[in-house]
Structure 1
Amino acid sequence: MLWAGMASAYAGEVAPAAAEAKDASDWHYGGFVDSAYLVDFNFPDNHNFRSRSTTRKVNQFALNMAQAYVRKDLSEQSPWGMEFGVQAGYDANEFAFLQGEQKVDGSDTLKHFSRANVSYLAPVGRGLTVTAGLFNSLIGYESLYARDNFNYTRSWIADYTPYMMFGAKVSYPISDEFTATLFAINSYFHLSHPNDQPSYGFQGAWKPTSRFTLTETFYAGPDQTDTALRFWRLFLNNIAEWKGEAVTIALSYDIGTEQIAGRPGDPRAFVMGGSLFTRWNVSGPWSLAVRPEFYWDRNGRWTGNEQFVKAVTSTAEYKLSLEKTTALFRLEHRFDESTGAAGGFFKRGDVSPGVPGLTGSQHLLLLSLILSFDS
């Protein structure tokens, strides 16, 4: 009661305009429209980028994503927060499950939600943050949304780790340099439904300086119909980032394994991938980004095809800002090479009726425009 009285007295001394600005600063809203034209020089008849869940459409105009959101930030003065967002577009169709996985009921509707969570900053020690609902994934460096990334197309490790999580997480800053997070979620991909048991994980984020951050995230859970412990999926995501005034460099490395139930001998699947993210703000609105990467799906458990992929992506960006509106223009070239028993990319012509032909490599050239409004 004493604290409430003091707070009321203080509020009465603040000028109305300042009070309104303070209240408004907690709330944010906005949205964006993301469109692109990707030229695939293999000219596949089905217009698809094989083994991908984002930027799948080639040689045609694609509205890849449109999103609208509202968010309330939390603080010691206002400990409750929330996020809510909706989305649509090609990139919203297949991002939340692996090929062949059973989907949750209503997934065709649920895929259009980008955020739906509440959070609370509890007055415990340095501040314990509890979040429940649909929130941004703790695994991975890149976002589902191209506007948040250095390059327009996403890396292979991004497409096959969760972009979002559904469940609950608890974060606590153990020190000024280290933050620990525990989470319990419904599944590896939030719109897949292999069983009714939850999955679990831990993240440690170490920031010894203002420029360097090291993040380790471990996931463990049952992602098959058989939920026996020996069939659990284990996954480790490692990220090291150095952020300078004009240059940012990040290295992300993933490794995962899972013993496959129902196949002869219950074989153990492995996946491994790495990406080097680099971005240079050349001058003012101009930036360049380069991303070499590799991805090995030994058993085809993640991509649906046994393959080893190497890729290099180069991006030039021009950013035009006017008050709260931003236009991002990106010109990007991407080269992918896929080898292995089931590797390859679609090309023009069928090997038999209804069976597209494959080739070992692919060049993409794209132009994209992302229009954003953020309060």
Structure 2
Amino acid sequence: MRKFLTFGLAFAASSAALAQTTPTTDPALAVPPAAAPAPATPGPLTFYGFVDGYYGIDFHHPDTQVRPSFLYSHNRQNEFTVNQGLIGMRYDDGKVRGAVGIHAGSYVTANYAAEDPVFKHIYEAYAGFRPFDKAWLDFGIFGSHIGFESAISKDNWTLTRSLMAENSPYYEAGARFTYEVGPKLTLTALALNGWQNIRENNQAKAAGTQIQWKPTDKILINSSTFYGNEQPADVATRRRYFHDFYITYAATDRLSLAAVFDVGKQQAARPAGDNGNKYDTWHTGAAFVRYKLADKWTTALRGEYYKAERGVIINSFAPVVGDGDAFIRGGSLNFDYAPTGNVVVRLEGRVLNAQNNIFAEADGVNHSTYGNLTSSIALSF
């Protein structure tokens, strides 16, 4: 699954401002031309859209268009398709704000499979106001407070998502209270239906926090937490604790660096007669390097790993006694070309290696290594 946030935290795609052209005049005209009108001040209501069309190919793939089950974004191969098509509107007059956005695509099919059909095409839908100066209170559906990567591919340094982003929330439903301590520090507290749930699956609620600190113009530090029981109402409680940390650093005008580390624990099933309070633990990390090659060209390199006892989260939300551990590591190389400010053309190569033979190939035998290429053209407006 999942998430996330922002270049630091990007929760959604924003509208691109349309440039006004200066009218041309004939210097031979006897009457001087009228002065060009001043640019209009943007109103509180804005519209936005985004579409990400892609084609990917897996090396030695079996007779299927589906990529490994723990990949949810750009998860189709040997098929021209759309990862996400999105359109919406936002309102913000400084005291009241809200948003409504709808989307469709292979990302939606994979990530929202468990949601009610009425809700699965909602990208965001929330309403909020300022209860007092420097604070916002929002209710509804919004982007996750967890993670360095978001659902909008153009806002991410790499085309495909890291294993940690795919297996943590991309979206949330609940209440969000944000307090702007100052220009460098923002605090957020959340009450949620659950871990990437729009519809509630039990009578419990989950809690989350986020701290974003920008000590300088070049550094952003994020700490996000989650606590809740994510098992259905008719299943024994398994409390889940999770922490997401990342830091980004703009070393130069061309070079940017990021490091991300997640760790989580969930109460585990125990052998018969064992009443111990054991937890399944997972931890995952990634490092990103992004470099601007030229005015319109950028490259990004990612290294990552994901390790989970009994495959918790990545293989199963409720692993049982005897399930095997999961350990996957990999890397990717990305090249981006931006012919205009609202279009980006991307190509990425990726290789993953697992501790066990978990990747199916065309020869009918599972292997420990998996590789793919993914290309995309994305437009935002």
TM-score of the aligned structures, taking structure 2 as reference length? 0.81
Change beyond 3 A, Cα 1:263–1:93 = farther
Distance 1:347 1:248 in 2: 36
Distance 1:118 1:191 in 2: 16
- Identify unmatched segments of 5+ residues in structure 1: 1-16, 98-102, 351-356
Match of residue 331 from structure 1:
347
Task: Give the % identical residues.
Answer: 24
Match of residue 221 from structure 2:
214
Q: Quick check: 1:31 aligned with 2:49?
A: yes
Q: Which of 92, 105, 112 is the equivalent residue of 1:73?
A: 92
Match of residue 11 from structure 1:
none
Q: How far is the alpha carbon of 1:96 from its aligned partner?
A: 4.6
Q: How far is the alpha carbon of 1:338 from its aligned partner?
A: 1.2
Q: How far is the alpha carbon of 1:345 from its aligned partner?
A: 1.6
Q: How far is the alpha carbon of 1:349 from its aligned partner?
A: 4.2
Q: Which of 327, 350, 374 is the equivalent residue of 1:308?
A: 327
Write the deviation string for residues 201-222 of structure 1: whole angstroms up to 9, x where unpaired: 1111221111111111111011
Q: Quick check: 1:62 aligned with 2:70?
A: no
Q: How far is the alpha carbon of 1:54 from its aligned partner?
A: 1.7
Match of residue 12 from structure 1:
none
Q: Which amino acid aligns with 2:188?
A: T
Write the deviation string for residues 111-152 of structure 1: whole angstroms up to 9, x where unpaired: 21101011212333xx11111111111000101121211111
The secondary structure found in structure 1 opposite 2:164 is helix
User: Is the contact between residue 203 and residue 233 of structure 2 (CA under 8 Å) also seen in structure 1?
Assistant: no
The secondary structure found in structure 1 opposite 2:362 is strand
Distance 2:144 2:334 in 1: 25
Match of residue 14 from structure 1:
none
Match of residue 369 from structure 1:
377
Write the deviation string for residues 47-105 of structure 1: whole angstroms up to 9, x where unpaired: 22212222211122222111111112342xxx1111111111111112257xxxxx45x
Q: Which of 97, 104, 107 is the equivalent residue of 1:88?
A: 104
Q: Which amino acid aligns with 1:156?
A: L
Q: Which amino acid aligns with 1:253?
A: F
User: Is the contact between residue 172 and residue 198 of structure 2 (CA under 8 Å) also seen in structure 1?
Assistant: no
User: Is the contact between residue 141 and residue 198 of structure 2 (CA under 8 Å) also seen in structure 1?
Assistant: no
Q: Which amino acid aligns with 1:90?
A: S
Tell me which protein shows more helix as a share of its residues: 1
Match of residue 111 from structure 1:
120
Distance 1:327 1:192 in 2: 34
Matches within 5 A, 1:1-375: 21-22=40-41, 24-50=42-68, 51-75=70-94, 79-96=95-112, 103-104=114-115, 106=116, 108-124=117-133, 127-191=134-198, 193-225=200-232, 231-243=238-250, 244-261=252-269, 264=272, 265=274, 268-304=279-315, 306-321=325-340, 326-340=342-356, 344-350=358-364, 357-372=365-380, 374=381
Number of equivalenced pairs = 332
Q: How far is the alpha carbon of 1:154 from its aligned partner?
A: 0.5
CA RMSD of aligned residues (A): 2.4
